[in-house]
Amino acid sequence: MNSIKIPFAPISKPMEASAGKTGLWRFLRPEIDVQRCIKCGICWMYCPDAVIVLDEEGVPHIDYEYCKGCGICANECPVKAIKMVREEGKP
């Protein structure tokens, strides 16, 4: 068994999750059409895994290593700029 010392309370620091890179769970991949994006930030606000980051211009980028492909961003996008595309076995 692992012998890493535990803290007083059951807290965890940001690191690769015990379940690994959860992006591997995804079978639908959100792809952002940057031309259509109006930079409203709604996808960033709604993402339950906080894997969308906005760059300096407010354009969203998705961290595919942890995006589970739930599709909430695509569903919430007011201008339909996010499309869910079937994964073809590529991570």
CB closer to another protein, 1 vs 35: 1
What distances in angstroms separate CA 44 from CA 31, 37, 76, one per listed residue? 14, 12, 10
Residue (13 or 90) nearer to another protein, CB: 13
AA identity, residue 88 = E
Residues binding another protein (CB under 8 A): 1-2, 6-14, 18-19
Least Å distance, CB 8 to another protein, is 6
Query: Please, are residues 37 and 79 in contact by the beta-carbon 8 Å criterion?
Result: yes
Provide, rounded to whole angstroms, the least separation between the CB of residue 47 and another protein.
Answer: 16
